[in-house]
Amino acid sequence: MTKQKKSKAVAAAKKKAKWAESSGKLSCLDAAAAVLKSSGKPMKCKEMIEAMAKGKLWTSDAPTPHATLSSAILREMKTKGAEARFKKVGRGAFSLKG
């Protein structure tokens, strides 16, 4: 990725984060973290999606939101490393670090 593309990507990410904060809506990952924190136990992605919908934290019309959530969690773990909020505790199951 070129330097210019990186700066555009960073600016877009900051704009998206700022919009999410101002609109009061949670992202899928933020909602998953909230669900895991409230449950206090590891959960599979399908369980997290159901809990997020039940608690009206986040919803999706996509056919496989659990797969999207799983990919997003794994991507956060890979990119943030030790700073990631999640840890994998089993096949398709995640918990919060700490």
Q: Write the CA distances from 5 to 8, 18, 76, integer angstroms.
A: 5, 20, 20
pLDDT along the chain (98 residues), means of 10: 56 49 78 97 98 95 96 97 96 94
Cα 20 to the chain's mean position, in Å?
13
Q: What is the pLDDT of residue 25?
A: 83
Residues 6+ apart with CB under 8 A from 44: 66, 92, 93, 94
pTM of the predicted model, to two decimals? 0.75
On whether the CB atoms of residues 39 and 17 are closer than 8 A, the answer is no
